[in-house]
Amino acid sequence: MKFGVIVFPGSNCDHDCYHAAKHVFGHEASYVWHKETELKGLDCVIVPGGFSYGDYLRAGAVAKNSPVMEEVVRFASGGGLVIGICNGFQVLTEAGLLPGALMKNRDLKFICEDITLRVENDSSPFTSCYEEGEVVSMPIANADGNYYADQETLKMIEGEGRVAFRYSTPAGLITPEANPNGSVGNIAGVFNKEKNVLGLMPHPERAIEPELGPTGGLGVFESIIDIIS
Amino acid sequence: MKAKVHVTLRSGVLDPQGKAVHGSLSRAGYDFIKDIRIGKEIAIEMDDLPREEAEAKLTEICEKLLANTVMENFTIEIE
């Protein structure tokens, strides 16, 4: 299968995503510069982390008006798999592909640490290789990871099973202490209605090689590869 | 013509920056302050347009880029 990794000025996790797809999982991967207007032959689009356009104005705000984003929206509308990681999640909410918004972390700090997440829904193209309720570890690295949605939106997301991951204790409990950044409902990742778009703040692409730490991100890539192959 | 756009967090949305500034002032003894919320001001210089058209265009760019209406409100002030 073929992954495409979108590159904005200021993206800095694009190489990690490319490395994951190509070298760790042995699939085809290519970079897609943000000025491109075609997404030909791709099975999955990765919108990577970083600081697109320096996060000026708001994280992800300027990137959403990049030429390639129109094509990403079209790709997603046609059922294509799109995953936004960290800044990529922010870009996808700004672009309207995912509900809610990412705000400044509760404690105003950039947080870079391994955290634990509970898998909330294992029936999606991104989570089918996990078990519902499974606790996995991945790193977070962000200053604007505080997920916000108003009550009505939240009710819809919860009702439609659109929460992919929640910050939890290692035992899988959803507590305020396990919430690193103030995200509403401890939400770390959400799907669109059709579940072919996922956005998450933790970095699955940095959690796939045991030499480097936790491997909780393996399931995300395995699930994508499983459904496409 | 000139315009100013003010972008603020919607009421009910936690403003950690405002809270930190409020906390700092409280610790310094300024205990008359009840709440602080921080927003941005965006100063715009633009072509002269009829007022109504200017308002419509500015509203459009606020919705498209300057504010994220999921969490922010905006007001437009044409000078």
Q: How many CA atoms lie within 13 A of B7 on its CB side?
A: 19
Show me where the domains of chain B are located.
2-78
List chain A pLDDT tens, one digit each, 229 residues: 999 999 999 999 999 999 999 999 999 999 999 999 999 899 999 999 999 999 999 999 999 999 999 999 999 999 999 999 999 999 999 999 999 999 999 999 999 999 999 999 999 999 999 999 999 999 999 999 999 999 999 999 999 999 999 999 999 999 999 999 999 999 999 999 999 999 999 999 999 999 999 999 999 999 999 999 8
Distance CA A92, CA B40 (A): 23
Nearest one of A47, A181, A189 to A117, comparing CA atoms: A189
Give the phi and the psi of residue A12 in degrees, each rounded to 5: -135, 5
A86 is catalytic: yes
Query: Hey, are the CB atoms on A104 and B65 less than 8 Å from each other?
Result: no
Distance CA A200, CA A205 (A): 11
A203 is catalytic: yes
Chain B residues within an 8 Å CB radius of A101 = 68, 70-71
Chain A residues within an 8 Å CB radius of B9 = 103
Nearest CA in chain A to B39: A57
Three-state SS at A115? strand
The CATH number fitting domain B2-78, selected from 3.30.1280.10, 1.10.490.10, 1.10.3720.10, 3.40.50.300: 3.30.1280.10
Contact A145, A176 (CB under 8 A): no
Contact A142, A196 (CB under 8 A): no
Three-state SS at A166? strand
Query: Hey, are the CB atoms on A65 and B20 less than 8 Å from each other?
Result: no
Residue A100 token pair: 């809610």
What is the interface pTM, i.e. ipTM, of the complex? 0.84
pLDDT of residue B70: 94
A205 is catalytic: yes
Q: What angle do CA A123, A187, A192 make, to 5 degrees?
A: 50
Kindly report the average pLDDT of chain B as a whole number.
Answer: 96
Chain A residues within an 8 Å CB radius of B71 = 101, 103, 148
| Number of CB pairs, chain A paired with chain B, less than 8 A apart | 39
For chain A, list the domains and their CATH numbers. Answer: 2-228 (3.40.50.880)
Closest CB to A108: pick one of B17, B66, B71. Answer: B17
Per residue in A121-167, pLDDT tens?
A: 999 999 999 999 999 999 999 999 999 999 999 999 999 999 999 99
For A47, the enclosing helix (H) or strand (E) is: strand A44-47
A113 inside 8 A of chain B by CB: no
Closest CB to A101: pick one of B64, B65, B68. Answer: B68
Please tell me the distance in Å from B71's CA to the nearest CA on chain A. 7
Residue B54 token pair: 């200017």
Distance CA A192, CA A172 (A): 24
